[in-house]
Amino acid sequence: MSQVYNFSSGPAMLPAEVLKQAQQELVDWQGLGTSVMEISHRGKEFIGVAEEAEQDFRDLLQIPSNYKVLFCHGGGRGQFAGVPLNLLGDKTSADYVDGGYWAASAVKEAKKYCTPNVIDAKVTVDGLRAIKPMREWQLSDNAAYLHYCPNETIDGIAIEETPDFGDAIVAADFSSTILSRPLDVSRYGVIYAGAQKNIGPAGLTLVVVREDLLGKAHNACPSILDYTVLNDNDSMFNTPPTFAWYLAGLVFKWLKKQGGVAAIDQINQQKADLLYGVIDKSDFYRNDVSPANRSRMNVPFQLADSALDKVFLEESFAAGLHALKGHRVVGGMRASIYNAMPLAGVQALTDFMVDFERRHG
């Protein structure tokens, strides 16, 4: 089969090397004669896998020792409930920055547990969609924490500033940007991310929590979302998604081999520059996000003539460029170019786009 590049927003492309290794060891993992997905999470073999994955993840993000890493179920949406249930304590309100679809979804869930003070950060700059700088975010006095989403997967909007809000506890949904660039973990109280974009397959969610924030969970917090319970049980209070955890471990090793987060950051920048460059150079394609807030992971773009959308999708698919259809709430196209997407994939896409414009423009 000829080369396929998968631009899916998640579950998303995984490094080919990782898939091949998983394939090779699928039925006989480390000479055990069984698959890693068939062994007990409590046995020393799997605990070895689990600990190594955690250590590699810590190394990659240089996670300080006063932060715990939890391997959870429930996805990003699980954490929309997990964050308030763990962080509210005796407070009844929290600040929520609304910068797009996922931040707004977090607000909706939080309303079940508290009164969110919603900070609408969406603005228009020179006719383009943008986000208010952090210094203009009006935090309230009585908030238990501040929640925001640094990369809006659907809107293609990124907030790249590093938060600096004094003692305020910052919780952030890094689902579609974790491990794509260096990150100062110490600025956050909680960082969480569903695995299915930059970490591994769906079914696993990572939570990084500062240890002094443990012990505050609401009585009604389900145990499987309770950071303290998860931490006390080394993320094995209930059966963890072992195969996803193992695969995440392979992805972390792969990323270390690429030179880690600093090295992938540079490649991610090149990929984004190439794709936005082609979009900006033509009147045939358009991206309406202000340059300062353009996502390097999810690049939505529209064709000037939407009547060509269908043929664009058919022809790109035939050329091995898959999953370019934009999210149903936005329409148009979207190319998700996470860590596993090589520069060659973005080159293939931009070559196709230029050629498509030549033929249909």
Annotated binding site for L-glutamate: 9, 42
130 contact partners, CB below 8 Å, separation of at least 6: 122, 123, 124, 289, 290, 292, 293
Query: Residues 95, 98, 155, 173: which is the catalytic one?
Result: 173
Among residues 6, 86, 117, 175, the one that binds ligand PMP under rule CB under 6 A: 175
**Distance between CA atoms of 352 and 1, rounded to whole angstroms?**
19
Beta bridge partners of 190: 171, 209
Kindly state the greatest CA–CA separation across the chain.
62
**Distance between CA atoms of 180 and 295, rounded to whole angstroms?**
11
Amino acid identity at 205: T
Residue 245 appears among annotated catalytic residues: no
Beta bridge partners of 334: 300
How many helical (H) and strand (E) elements, i.e. helices and strands, does the chain have?
9, 16
DSSP codes, 91-108: --EEEEEE-SHHHHHHHH
The yes or no reply on residue 245 touching ligand PMP (CB under 6 A) is: no
The yes or no reply on residue 150 touching ligand PMP (CB under 6 A) is: no
Range in contact with ligand PMP (rule: CB under 6 A) among 72-80, 83-91, 155-163, 249-257: 72-80
Per-residue x/- mask for ligand PMP, residues 94 to 133, rule CB under 6 A? --------x-------------------------------
The yes or no reply on residue 173 touching ligand PMP (CB under 6 A) is: yes
Query: Residues 29, 102, 245, 254: which is the catalytic one?
Result: 102
The yes or no reply on residue 176 touching ligand PMP (CB under 6 A) is: yes
Nearest-5° angle of CA 43, CA 45, CA 47?
70
Residue 20 appears among annotated catalytic residues: no
Residue 112 appears among annotated catalytic residues: no
Residues 301-340 that bind ligand PMP (CB under 6 A): none
Residues labelled catalytic: 102, 173, 197
Footprint on this chain of ligand PMP (rule: CB under 6 A): 10, 75-77, 102, 149, 153, 173, 175-176, 194
